[in-house]
Amino acid sequence: MADLTKHEVLLNELTNIHSLVSVVLNNFKTLKEDKLNLEKSISTIKQENENLLQRVEALENQLDVNKDNSLNSLFGSMDSGEKEELKVKIQNLINRLDIHLSS
């Protein structure tokens, strides 16, 4: 009868160990799936980030081009005489402002 009790204790311990191993195995499988999902998400986010950086660069380049074009279109349409006349008018205005501020 003592042997039967030892066998029952051993069987109970093996059953408990089996249960714990099953829990650990299930946790491992769940964590593995979570890891794969997170890696997919990271990959997608990295790709989106790269696309957004490319768009930002393209928009910055377009902004630079538009800024240059707006200045060129404003003053590029004027001939040399008109540009000189504008320079003289600006210089006269600056001189008047200097005189006015000096008094």
Q: Contact 83/75 with Cβ under 8 angstroms?
A: yes
What pLDDT does 71 receive? 61
Q: How far apart are CA 64 and CA 58, in angstroms?
A: 10
Where do the structural domains in the chain lie, given as residue ranges? 2-78
Selection from 80, 99, 68 nearest residue 91 by Cα: 99
Q: How far apart are CA 77 and CA 89, in angstroms?
A: 18
Q: What is the 3-state secondary structure (H, E, C) of the chain?
A: CHHHHHHHHHHHHHHHHHHHHHHHHHHHHHHHHHHHHHHHHHHHHHHHHHHHHHHHHHHHHHHHHHHHHHHHHHHHCCCHHHHHHHHHHHHHHHHHHHHHHHC
pLDDT along the chain (103 residues), means of 10: 78 95 97 97 96 95 78 69 87 88 80
